[in-house]
Chains A and B, each alone.
Chain A
Amino acid sequence: MRKGLAALVGIIALVSLTAAAEARSIRYHAQHPIPAKFGGGFCYITEPHVHAFGPSDPRLYRMHDEEYYFVGDPTPFGYDGPRYSYYGPHPVVDVGVEFGEPVYCYLDGPHYHWYQPVAQAQFEFRGGAYWYVGDYDPIYYRQRGRYVAINEAYRPVVWERPVVDVTVAPPAFHGVIVAGPGVHGHAVVAAPAFSAGVHVAVPPPPSVHVGVGVGVGGPVVVGHEHVIVAEPPPRTVIIREHHDNGRHEGWYKHGKH
């Protein structure tokens, strides 16, 4: 009897502790996806706020001052607000968001954000997207290994990416465009440590994609009416670290054959 009572008290204490642990507030800095088990969709609150739930995938966030800031493309989560097209990695240039250090979006290829680059940021709008044409802070390279995982988070997701004409990429864009059917728009930005070397990318076998949207490594969204990429190289692509000032000597040169 005494043993049973002790067990009961223990269970009650455990339940109380669990309840206390669950009753918590998770802080978000701005808008963000809502985990499916909490209804899904998107939270449009632009001011710092709290929820009773944490993010479904921390790879889509950057933590600052104990607040989660969503750094991904909001489109797959049903976001229906204003959005702007970007191509490749770039600094996060959301108005009113200060991290105390440069913070980068590591999403490959074409994607959306809800913010337009602030006027003083070094972006060029070409071919339907903003391209970052400034220098990358060393922190970009230091943190890339950790945050590039965001692309893995998006890989199984099907959504409509922006249509970007990579043939008019700004010469000052630091990355090298590797875009073509099968690759579907992929920007590689090398760290200074690799400046003397080359990157070798092996795209999938060539195929023809007419009227196809741009997707990176994931399912392709069909529905656009124009071709945005040229033919891919037959096999291997050698990518130089810096952009070739519009000469497109990588796969693109081959693609024009």
Chain B
Amino acid sequence: MRTRVLTVLFACLVWTSVGCGKKEGGAAAGPGEPAHVDGTPHTDQVVNAWKGAGFPAEGFAAIDPTAYRAGYCSQGRVGGIDALICEYRDDDSIDRARKLIQDEWGKEGVHTGVALRSKRTLVAVADRGRSDPSGKTINKLLDTFKKL
């Protein structure tokens, strides 16, 4: 019984140490972990701007940026809409990623999707649940992002 409890505690410790590094706005990236890209709005800045504008943001966490040819990526939901934020080091990668994302939306049949860049940060929002039929929320999210 005691061994079992110790094992669970150890597992929790490991999970916490790994999980913390992945949390949005957490400590500096460790070796091998993606780092934020300088000279462009960071993912946590975008999320904080959305929160500051009154949009509930939830579940934002860093994801593997290589899937989107980015230097750093974060994914979550804001105002009931799926959002992906990625930081890039070059324009070509942004263009390719945008195409990739739009192709994915096409295959998936996403109801509404917008991929917008500001400097070298790309925001891709997808309204899969039709929670924003008029697009007004999406437009405000984009306006907030463009001001960064």
Contacts and interface: CB of A to CB of B under 8 A. Distances in A.
Interface residues of B, number: 20
B19 interface: no
A39 B132 CA distance: 11
Most chain A CB within a 10 A radius of its CB, from B133, B134, B136: B134
Interface in A10-30: 22-25
Interface of A: 22-25, 34, 39, 41-52
Chain A interface SS verdict (over half): loop
B71 interface: no
Contact of B106 (A23, A39, A46): A23
B48 interface: no
Contact of A41 (B105, B106, B134): B134
Given A25-B113, A49-B112, A52-B111, 9 more contacts: A23-B107, A24-B109, A44-B139, A45-B142, A49-B113, A50-B102, A50-B105, A50-B106, A52-B109
Chain B interface SS verdict (over half): mixed
Contacts of B70: none
Nearest to B125: A49
Most chain B CB within a 10 A radius of its CB, from A23, A24, A25, A43: A25
B135 A25 contact: no
A23 B109 contact: yes
Most chain A CB within a 10 A radius of its CB, from B112, B114, B136: B112
